[in-house]
Amino acid sequence: MNQILVNRRRFLQAVVMGIAATSIPNLHKLGATGTASSEEEIEILCGTLYAMGQGWLEIHDGENYKRLQVSENTSIWKGFETSCSSLTKGDDIMVKVLKRDIALRIWANLGRAQGVITGFRKSGFVLKTIRYCSVDKEIFVETLPHTLWQGGQLYPSPTSGKAENGNIFVDVIGEVIPEGLRASLIYLVPQTDERFENFPEQEISITPSGPYCTYSYAGYASWFNCPTGAGRCGTCNTSRSDQCAWPALDTCGSCSWNCCDCSKGCKNQIYLWCGKDVKVIDLCQNKSRIVYIADCGPCQNCSGFCSRKCNDCKGYVTPVIDLTRPTFAYFYDPATRGCFSCRVEVTVLCP
């Protein structure tokens, strides 16, 4: 296989995370995903690193053990691009593989958090995380010299210890550590009070076909962590790469873990239910996948959510679906980006 060598600085400059995600040309050639004769041969496996040796590793998904081949073409991420020697037994592992069990890309302890800064420490900051439209918990985000910032960089005020930038919404991708996250990518966006209609209109269509109607929404897909057995439906499974969160499950006028009306006043997406199938079409690389609802989200009607932009081929500003981490990895590398422009389609009986 022909190798294309890329200067690390140029590579990092090309990488954009979270809402500022952008395409990295020829990612297969860069070794981030290895090579495959057909995308249909690709699958995503998740589990705990159980054992490893020369040219192989074994993961345990809670029920079964899976041994995978590792070669010099396998790329490995653990907070940054690294090698097999940095992997440790017990690591949370996600692997992109060929169905003949060849590992193309390995992610170790990959996590993501979104929220607002509440204070600074010497080596990072405290993040009040947000899931749905409510505060979840506070975690520590460690920053390092190689941490890549998008949309600016945070500086604490000398008097208050808070961000000089004001009330900043932060989207962090990095390695999970006991205190929270060790950030590899951080995107900052000031929260806004601008109304949703001030942003470019994006396609919403309804196509009837006999007794059925197909609803289509254009926006972007994001990703989130959903451990096995978790999620609003209790059906998230890290061994599956076909699950999602949908923002409209309940007509309750609120957006929380047990009350899912997170699209009202924004996209006003149709109300669906746990297990319903949804088609996700990537508008940048014309790739699609049928996914199934396992959770609630994304939260469109929170301040700042409808105004955030995915900087890729379409530049859409509103999330229309959340994909679980392995599902997003079927489309793109979740360590290097947090979104992609898409259209989601769902077919139900016409009202």
State yes or no: pLDDT of 332 exceeds 60. Answer: yes
Q: How many other CB atoms are found less than 10 A from the CB of residue 218? A: 20
State yes or no: pLDDT of 172 exceeds 90. Answer: yes
pLDDT for 317 equals 83
pLDDT, tens digit, for every residue of 111-123? 999 888 888 988 9
Top pLDDT among 30 and 301 is at: 301
Task: From 61, 79, 108, give the residue that closes a domain.
Answer: 108
In Å, what is the CA distance from 348 to each residue of 18, 272, 351? Answer: 31, 9, 9
Number of domains in the chain: 3
pLDDT, tens digit, for every residue of 52-100? 999 999 999 888 999 999 999 999 999 999 999 999 999 999 999 998 8
**Are 203 and 343 contained in the same domain?**
yes
- Supply the pTM of this predicted model: 0.84
For position 178, which CATH number holds? 2.40.50
**Are 91 and 123 contained in the same domain?**
no
**Are 216 and 292 contained in the same domain?**
yes
Top pLDDT among 342 and 26 is at: 342
pLDDT, tens digit, for every residue of 213-242? 999 999 999 999 999 999 999 999 998 999
Domain that holds residue 273: 196-349
Task: From 92, 108, 124, give the residue that closes a domain.
Answer: 108
CB 130 within 8 A of CB 253: no
Task: From 140, 162, 190, give the residue that closes a domain.
Answer: 190
List Cβ neighbours of 14 (8 Å cut-off, separation of 6 or more).
Answer: 22, 24
**Are 340 and 230 contained in the same domain?**
yes
pLDDT for 307 equals 56
* pLDDT band (50, 70, 90) for residue 197: very low
